[in-house]
Amino acid sequence: MRILLASGTPHLPQLIGGLEINTHHLALELNERGCSTGVLSKLSLRDSFGAMRFAASCAQFKNVVVDRSLGYEVYRCLRPWKDLRGLVLPQVVVIQNGNMVQMGRAFREKGIASIAYLHGLEFDGESGNWPDKAEDLPFSAYIGNSLFTAARFKARYGIDTAVIPPIFRPDVYRTYGEGRHVTFINPIQAKGLDIALAVATLCPDIPFLFVRAWPLSKKEEAELQRRLAMLANVRLVDRTTDMASIYKQTRILFVPTQWQETWGRVVSEAHFSGIPVLSSDLGGLSESVGPGGILVNADASPIIWAEHLRLLWNDPTVYQEKREAAFAYADRPEIMVDRQMEQFVDITERVAA
């Protein structure tokens, strides 16, 4: 069976986030199971990678350019919800983010059924592109990445979804020993940058590691550098696809996010190494953190956050309890890849048929 994983946003290496990493692991797992799997994504022109591929597509008089460096075919175009000339059509398409309804309709016009794999809340007020009525949706089946996402979707459209949490290859993330930093990934406002900086200021004796993820504007970069210059206990490192190298340095993962995370991929990645998580309580984070960390009200003051952090950092009994809980929670059936892939393939085969 030929499956296409489609998104209206860029894919690796142009964008590195939870959705992109999940898509990458999902494509590799499907190919290993005998499915011919490709990815369709938006081509961004903001970097040399995108500019070179856009030039190649123009030279070939095609809307879609393809590369295979990630271990599967990646089709990129400026408008993946519209410009599909040059795309090898699949038997079924799994649409995951960004202009999902438009993509579903475009593939339906070509006689191809689609599955909505909901990783965000685009359907729930984040985008004006979703219809008001369930009968106007173009999808043949629905998957949510968490119970939280599934509940929000049912409240919006009255439709039950299967639930398949993000796909993980544990060995990609697993490290041994205990790191020496409190790690904060993706230093932007929505992910809780102000809280992270305030807590680092309140805890000058604790070393922090800030890890880049999403691209910053020149203004955002300058402001981040200005604020970090005042903190001797914070080190900023560039984004990487080798997250094990980050978790090797991590004693506690800090997730003070201020938006509705539908899962929080970095939480589960950290748990594979027994790293406790100090996280806000928004969205699906209660599911991903579980007993393997501490949840804090997202509106709590930096002083409250700092108190919880010091408890984890300084109390060996509390730390070890949460560390063991993180290891155990990472071994739960819901995120075992063989079980997830069996469920995913069953849904795609049913829709394709």
Give the pLDDT score at 61: 58
Please report the domains of the chain, with CATH numbers, ordered by start residue.
2-163 (3.40.50.2000), 170-333 (3.40.50.2000)
Chain-centre distance of CA 3, in angstroms?
20
pLDDT digits (tens, 9 = 90+) for 194-252: 999 999 999 999 999 999 998 899 999 999 999 999 999 999 999 888 999 999 999 99
Give the pLDDT score at 127: 57
Give me the amino acid identity at 201.
Answer: T
Question: d(Cα 20, Cα 43) in Å, to the nearest integer?
Answer: 13
User: What mean pLDDT do residues 323-343 have?
Assistant: 97
**pTM: predicted TM-score of the whole model, two decimal places:** 0.92
Fill in the DSSP letter of residue 214: S
Chain-wide mean pLDDT for the chain? Answer: 94
pLDDT digits (tens, 9 = 90+) for 17-51: 889 999 999 999 999 999 999 999 999 887 788 77
pLDDT digits (tens, 9 = 90+) for 160-200: 999 999 999 999 999 998 999 999 999 999 999 999 999 99
Give me the amino acid identity at 152.
Answer: R
Give the pLDDT score at 305: 98
Fill in the DSSP letter of residue 335: G
Label residues 32-57 b or e (16+ Cβ within 10 Å = b): eeebebbbbbbbbeeeebbeebbeeb
Give the pLDDT score at 82: 86
* Residue carrying structure tokens 């955002």: 220
User: What mean pLDDT do residues 8-23 have?
Assistant: 92
Q: How confident is the model at residue 149 (pLDDT cuts 50, 70, 90)?
A: very high
Contacts of 301 (CB under 8 A, 6+ apart): none
pLDDT over 90 percentage in the chain: 84
Residue 204: name the closest of 226, 182, 225, 179 by CA.
182
pLDDT digits (tens, 9 = 90+) for 275-292: 999 999 999 999 999 999
Q: How many angstroms separate the Cα of 95 from the Cα of each of 59, 114, 140, 202, 340? A: 28, 7, 11, 43, 17
